[in-house]
Amino acid sequence: MRLYELSEQYETLLELAIDNPDSEQLQEFLVGLEGKIEEKIENTIKVIRSLEAEAKAIKEEEERLNARRKSIENSSVRLKENVEAIMKRMEMEKVKGQLFTISLQSNPPKVVVLDEFHIPQKYFITPQPVPQLQKKDIIEAWKRGKDIPGVQVVQEKSLRVR
């Protein structure tokens, strides 16, 4: 068998190993390769090394792309926070552009616990090993104008782009 024929067979072996490493076709191909068993083994190891090198290169590229994605996402977040801060500082509620409408909209109210020991017991879910605060009830009471000791209800604004 000529060298280029062996080379073609091992290229076919490499393709089979990549596409379907567990197939019977790959096993039959290994058995049918011409040449000494020592050559077959050494060339099979060459294929293995080639696959390992390709897998390593792919993994390194995945890591590089992942780092780049995170960097781009962080830049996007920082820019959005900057626009939001400027609009709040300038007391701008809405900016209407040709492509986008950017506005500061109120988020749903949220409960901030200041002092858990001063919150009335009726705002806790019991019986439980650790009493759980019923934040919905506190927000409903806040909407009715009631002041609940030990908590503060805040309603912040955030940037919306449409």
Question: Looking at residue 100, what is its pLDDT?
Answer: 96
Tens of pLDDT, residue by residue over 52-77, are 999 999 999 999 999 999 999 999 99
Question: What are the residue ranges spanned by the domains of the chain?
Answer: 1-92, 102-161
Q: What is the mean pLDDT of residues 126-142?
A: 86
CA angle 156, 161, 162 (to 5 degrees): 130
The three-state secondary structure class of 16 is helix
The DSSP secondary structure of 93-115, one letter per residue, reads -EEE-SS-EEEEEEPPPEEEES-
What residues are paired with 154 via a beta bridge?
110
CB-based contact 9:32 (threshold 8 Å): no
Please give the helix or strand (H or E) that residue 159 lies within, else none: strand 157-161
Question: Looking at residue 38, what is its pLDDT?
Answer: 72
Class of residue 117 by CB neighbours under 10 A (exposed 0-12, middle 13-18, buried 19+): exposed
Question: Looking at residue 159, what is its pLDDT?
Answer: 94
- Asked whether the whole model's pTM tops 0.85, one would answer no
